[in-house]
Amino acid sequence: MGYLRWIAFSLFLFSSTTTFAATMTDSLGNCITLNTPPQRIVTLEYAFADALAAIGISPVGIADDNDPLNLHPAVVSRITGWVSVGDRANPDLSRIAALKPDVIIADITRHQAIYPALSAIAPTALLPSRGETYAENLAVAEKIGMLVDQPDLMTARLQQHALYMRDIEKQLSPVQGQQALFAVALENGVYAYSGSAYPGGVLKAIGLRVPEQIGQDDRALRQLTLEEMSTINPDILLSGTIEPDNVLLQWQQQPVWPTLQAIKNEQFYQVDGKYWAHCRGILASEAMADALRKTLPQFTRPATEIQTSAIP
């Protein structure tokens, strides 16, 4: 009997050390299987770092285009102990290898060409980030939760996110259904984002209408003339001023400017163009929604506080 107990105990020990396996199929159809929960994760897009930060995980390496200020402040405030691995477009493979990652999360658009080199360093998941929509970003976050062995935690965080966005939508009920347009102002033009672009998806998530098509094509981002802006004629105009000497300042001197509905409604607002245009993710979108709540002066009730104390 003692011998049988020893056999049973040995089998238990063996099974307990071999039962873990996180498997996820990436956007290229590659099946990534990790035999131990990943502790050292490298992310090659801002949005992937956002997803990890939202559930309390710090990557060891992030492609931040060699400037940590490119990451959203909400992400930076939640992560520690990471280093830059260079540009998103051309990450530094030697820096990545030196970190000895357990897994690398890369963008299917930017990094497919270097996938063999990345995979030689560590198991690599190719997921969409560049050009993804708001809904696609949430789906990718769910996949990342599976990849890092935190599916339940990510599911709970996504549920919190949905509640948060619904609460913001309720607070914005007086303008619900109004048409809003986000555009960035540069020296060479004004570029507007349609409903299929990431910022447009966030605006729709909180109850605003966004033009699904900008101009004569279906591009998510398109340069506009003042005449085209007048044709769209949004109720709310959100300007992300990235460059101080920009075309939008010139527009404001033109006779057609005060005839725009947003100007007549006194609903022309400045938002953070850098982060609105370049950052995607759970934390980034919540910051966008909260900024809009704070920007519209008739809404003063704080959004429901997201309880993150249970997130490690």
Q: In whole angstroms, what is the distance from residue 174 CA to residue 237 CA?
A: 16
Mean pLDDT, rounded, for 178-199: 92
- Which pLDDT belongs to residue 303? 53
pTM: 0.87
Q: In whole angstroms, what is the distance from residue 290 CA to residue 188 CA?
A: 30
* Average pLDDT of the chain to the nearest whole number: 88
Mean pLDDT, rounded, for 186-192: 91
- Which pLDDT belongs to residue 16? 44
- Decide if pLDDT at 309 tops 60: no
CA distances 11 to 3, 6, 14, Å, are 12, 9, 5
Q: 180, 236 in Cβ contact below 8 A?
A: yes
- Which pLDDT belongs to residue 24? 82
Strands 189-193 and 103-107: unpaired
Read off the pLDDT of residues 23-42 as tens digits, 9 standing for 90 and up: 788 888 888 888 899 999 99
Query: Which range (212-216, 259-263, 279-283) has the least confidence?
Result: 212-216
Query: Which domains, from first to last, does the chain contain?
Result: 2-163 (3.40.50.1980), 175-295 (3.40.50.1980)
Q: In whole angstroms, what is the distance from residue 255 CA to residue 265 CA?
A: 17
Read off the pLDDT of residues 225-235 as tens digits, 9 standing for 90 and up: 999 999 999 99
